[in-house]
Structure 1
Amino acid sequence: MDKYINLIKLSVGSDSYDDLVAWQSTKRAQTADGLPRHVTRMWPKREAEILNGGSIFWVVKGVVTCRQRILRLDEVIGSDGIRRCAIVSDQELIRVQSALKRPFQGWRYLKPEDSPPDLPQGRAREEPLPVELNRALAEIGVL
């Protein structure tokens, strides 16, 4: 089995899965080759493990909702001259089993064994539940 590590990140400003999809379709959130990216201040020290099959898991309103396979890490120099890391991911957002996550800043490493599993194919195409209902069900362990 390949050794990899995932990242987990709050989708700040997103109120739903659809908001995240809409944001990633904007030019501002894309690389020159049209892939979604998230620019962050810190460069992951475990880059090799991330690029060996890792995904970025997105937390929307306190609930882990989906993931994207990480393709590469690009260097971005801001207008302030500071080096930043663009986490470039696959365009496909994969729905995962809902899991509660408390707020945190930046991104965190997420071990594969601690990562929520993907939803079965049939459920991945369902309309997402309203955020509050999703959170309530996750709190009682139904999702």
Structure 2
Amino acid sequence: MTAKLHMLKLSVGSESIEQLVDWQQRRSKQRRDGHYYHITRMWPKREAELLDGGSIYWVIQGVILARQRILGFDEIIGDDGIRRCALSLAPEIVRTEATPKRPFQGWRYLKPEDAPADLGRARADEADLPPKLMAALAEIGVR
């Protein structure tokens, strides 16, 4: 099944996929249900399309490198009384083809036809190159 819509988000502060995984694993241990939630201010208006097989694609240092399946949305009210959206994400992070992406704020919708392909299992276990080098190789067609 092809998703109707995905989400694109900067992984602010991450320098690698491993750092993103480590951060999420540490944060998920703090939750009662063990799931990882990414909290954002804005609630997606196209929620049903995202829940129809959609993923959040992570941009790390200017390059889309991975994705996670979106499982659901939960309302969280912060200590400041503001309503926020908690994206419940699958624990598995899937590596994707390195795709350069310019900086942006918040998150963006990503059409399935614009999403980078998943790496095959053989390539997913390869040693990581620095994200900027991966982006440069992707720009010249070497993936």
TM-score, normalization: structure 1? 0.93
Is 1:57 equivalent to 2:64 in the alignment? no
In 2, are the aligned partners of 1:68 and 1:94 still within 8 Å (CA)?
Answer: yes
The Cα of 1:135 is off from its aligned counterpart by 2.3
Is 1:77 equivalent to 2:77 in the alignment? yes
Quote the RMSD (CA, aligned, Å). 1.6
**d(CA) in 2 for partners of 1:64, 1:3:** 18
Q: Relative to 1, partners in 2 of residues 1:13 and 1:67: Cα closer, same or farther, differing over 3 Å?
A: same
Unaligned runs of 5+ in 1: none
1:8 corresponds to which residue? Answer: 8
Identity value in percent: 58
Q: Deviations over 1:100-131 (max 9, x none)?
A: 00000001000000000000111111122122
Unaligned runs of 5+ in 2: none
The Cα of 1:132 is off from its aligned counterpart by 2.9
Structure 1 runs (4+) greater than 6 angstroms displaced: none
In 2, are the aligned partners of 1:51 and 1:70 still within 8 Å (CA)?
Answer: yes
2:89 corresponds to which residue? Answer: 89
Aligned residue pair count: 143
Q: Relative to 1, partners in 2 of residues 1:28 and 1:123: Cα closer, same or farther, differing over 3 Å?
A: closer
Q: Aligned letter for 1:32?
A: R
